[in-house]
Structure 1
């Protein structure tokens, strides 16, 4: 994923956790926070050691990044996202992960009032 789409600093993650909203399904939790001054969306991915060893966690991160990269045009801009992978995601193949991610993102932004960035 390109650098402009990455959420990397601890302060940014904490801000999204603290002030953002969340939506979840069995495999993923999506935290999102409106950032109206920002051109693009930014994504941070978190995979706990509970999910598996380093090989499993890194594979999961790579697959998630690829799914998001392919659908970046349909992602709502002006948001910071933190995506947390849960244990069941480790046993899923690419297409199941893609379907689950699409579900949680669609679920988060299905209500128009919930997804609008704050105008300043």
Structure 2
């Protein structure tokens, strides 16, 4: 996802899951389109090194997730300030819980 209007539509119309370290926003889309995911880390979280590290962590967690067949839509992972001090396993657990809550993973609702 790269267009500003796509982000605005996602944030305005998407379903939210708020956790301790992140907020997950999902908007389902056409099954013919692939899932588009975007990690969002603002400057409030930390400097460039911290922000880039968090984005890499989120991308890796999303890459390894057991996605449900036919998952399509837009997904934003918005980091909270506490995410900068969180361990990888804590971020993974919370993001996986949010994805299951949204019904995007195998074994979800």
TM-score (norm 1): 0.78
**Gapped runs of 5+ residues in structure 1?**
1-6, 116-120
Query: Which residue of structure 2 aligns with residue 83 of structure 1?
Result: 77
Conservation of the 8 A alpha-carbon contact between 1:23 and 1:31 = yes
1:37 positional shift: 4.6
Q: Distance in 2 between matches of 1:88 and 1:105?
A: 19
- Of 74, 79, 88, 2:67 maps to 74
More helix by share: 1
Report the counterpart of residue 86 of structure 2 in structure 1. 92
For the residues of structure 2 that align with 1:8 and 1:69, how far apart are their CA atoms? 19
Q: Which moved more, 1:29-38 or 1:61-70?
A: 29-38
Which residue pairs with 2:6 in the alignment? Answer: 12
Deviations 1:58-98 (A, max 9, x none): 00000100110111x41561111111000111111221111
Paired positions, count: 104
Q: Give the CA RMSD over aligned residues.
A: 1.9
TM-score scaled by length of structure 2? 0.85
Secondary structure, counterpart of 1:26 in structure 2: coil
Q: 1:39–1:77: 8 Å Cα contact kept in structure 2?
A: no
Q: Distance in 2 between matches of 1:13 and 1:74?
A: 22
Gaps of 5+ in 2: none
